[in-house]
Structure 1
């Protein structure tokens, strides 16, 4: 079982930048409807953000759940999810929560996969239950919450789990009507 080292990596920074750029491409359609075809490229942002999250989770040794860094990571994710919900609602989009809610629940599930302690599994089961109950208003739905955990599994054991995140990403994008829009 390999773990990513705790030092900063240019590759991880590149993933974050690609996620940001594709997110901007996705959001451009809200300001300039003529750019609505960028929506398809914009759908790449979620898997890239999930990958960055999974890399961060994988950097911790299994069992090291309650660290200052993890607490800060979750707190900031929840804070920005709450703060961004108001402007997100003002734009009047699809009636879903903003993507940070899905990522916060996904973080809890990924922690369950990484740490496999009683506490992390309780958090993961709670997040899975919330995702199931809130699947409709969650951006990317129930399966979107599972993507970060699937990526943690793929990082740990690519020979077994490399295709799992791909299958989940296909599932979440069929939910959003991406394939119909691209046709």
Structure 2
């Protein structure tokens, strides 16, 4: 067999004869194993009954808080999407109302312009008819004067060429024959 390993230290008041290092002392293995089992059991019970439940409670609280935050974020996302959809719907309705208003305003303006144009055309037609009447009257007046002037000119020309004045009835008949 092997000889036990002994360690000696110079500690005052302790005799060092044959003293060995306690963990390596064969005489104390049983008590060391007993205290190891008791210490392990106490630490195991302390861990199992106190520390592990506290840690699992902390982890459960943390998980619950994370789940709550995720649910709140999902609800906020859903609310934001609903608000976005409502905004898009309101925007499209506003655009449709604006288009309707534009069409109504354009149609109303076109109708008003057509009425004004018709009134202006009627007024211009009246003025044109009045002007044509004045022109026709002036033309008739001028034409009646032209006949008289033509008769006078023809009488003067014939008189100058022949030296005698022709009869007024013959000159008027000749001018009327040329005018037709």
Q: Taking structure 1 as the reference length, what is the TM-score of the superposition? A: 0.19
Which is richer in helix? 2
Greater relative CO, 1 or 2 (CA 8 Å, sep 6+): 1
Q: Taking structure 2 as the reference length, what is the TM-score of the superposition? A: 0.19
Which is higher, the Rg of structure 1 or of structure 2?
2
